[in-house]
Amino acid sequence: MSASNEAEDLMKKIKKAAKIISSAGPLPFPISDTFIKILKYYLDDEDIELIKAFKFKKSMTMDQLKSKLKDLSEEEIDRRAAKLAKKGFIFNQPSSKGLMVYRLLPIVIIGAFEYTFMPKLPENEAELERLRNIAVLYEKLMEELRDSIQERYDNFLPMFQQQPPTDRTIPLFKNAEGKTIPINKSIQAEEVVLPAQTVEEIINKFDDIAVGNCFCRQYRVMLGGKCEIDAPMEVCFTFGKSAKHVVQQGFARKVSKEEALEIMKKAEDAGLVHKAFHNASDINKIENSICNCCKCCCDTFGLWRMGAIPMVNSTNFLSQVDQEKCVGCGTCEERCPTGAIALNADSKAEVNSELCIGCGICAHFCPEQAISLKEGMRTVFVLPPRLNK
């Protein structure tokens, strides 16, 4: 086969793999030239052969994979899966019963994109240049997603409205001086069991804890940007099986509960939002990770603002402003990650409850201690802005 025919054959294979990878994720990325170019940085023929086995089922056992890849031994299948895990496309961890399960990961949220930018950046210039090139392609892919959503905005509305919360906000309960933020507690029905409301509660659940670099922030660095608040980089936490996975693949490092709490304290001091993620996006299931997000770098906030995805967040708190104490300094408006608080005509801060995710950042930095948190479980659902009106 000639070189041109081989290249054409590989392109066809990658397009098939792209459709399978896209179907594994929550975002409807178009199978564009950009998508294909990204995959060419990662995949070779044997990677693609394994990915094709996941066409109709995204999680499989070894026996199920063997039934689809009859010419490959268990050792070879496991080797290829391990190789794809290192690239961020396979999650290979045993179930609670000890049975190894292989799950295909998406290109974005949480998959190859996140795991590419989570490890410490390489010192080798050639490897850095490769990451920069990949980052530029990912940026274009996000723009293509936005354009696709905007072109068929009304068609996507039913899908948006059925989307479960992507994450759950864990609020900051101390202000910048270390004083407790006032909480207006509501009476909860006895049968209602709330998920953990502090990072300490979550961390204390787990023996396996890992921390990696904020993939959103490092992605921005690779695009030539810089965090506006110069937030700490190593603040991306995973727990349990997810922690074992990222440590095994070299995406993050294992930490003790004590070190995890120290890092969380630094994240709070920097004004980062704690966002917890749950298995199956169900807040009644156990947490698997916590991101510590700034409004300038976080891709969840960024994709919403640019018109690509809705903001769907679970929270148990809502900010409230004491109008008598507020002096209209604007600190809360500047810090709020969702634009939920702003000065009114009387130069007093007002909260838009439809946008407030209850993160407590406004209360944390309020110099007058004029902001408290009202308790009450709710879901914040905000459609992406419609750009083509």
- Residues 335 and 294: their CA atoms lie apart, in Å, by 9
Mean pLDDT, all residues of the chain: 94
> What is the structure's pLDDT at 10?
78
355 within 8 A of 277, measured Cβ to Cβ: no
Q: What is the percent of the chain with per-residue pLDDT over 90, rounded to a whole number?
A: 91
> What is the structure's pLDDT at 182?
95
- Between CA 375 and CA 15, with CA 26 as vertex, the angle to 5 degrees is 165
Q: Does 320 have pLDDT greater than 80?
A: yes
> What is the structure's pLDDT at 188?
53
Q: What is the percent of the chain with per-residue pLDDT over 70, rounded to a whole number?
A: 96
pLDDT tens across 212-230, in order? 999 999 999 999 999 999 9
Label residue 189 by pLDDT band (50, 70, 90): very low
| Stated length of the chain | 389
Q: Does 4 have pLDDT greater than 80?
A: no
Label residue 389 by pLDDT band (50, 70, 90): low
43 within 8 A of 90, measured Cβ to Cβ: no
Label residue 187 by pLDDT band (50, 70, 90): low
> What is the structure's pLDDT at 332?
97
Torsion 66-70-76-79 (CA) sign: negative
Kindly state the average pLDDT of the residues 351-369.
Answer: 97
Domains and CATH numbers, the chain: 3-151 (1.10.10.10), 155-382 (no CATH)
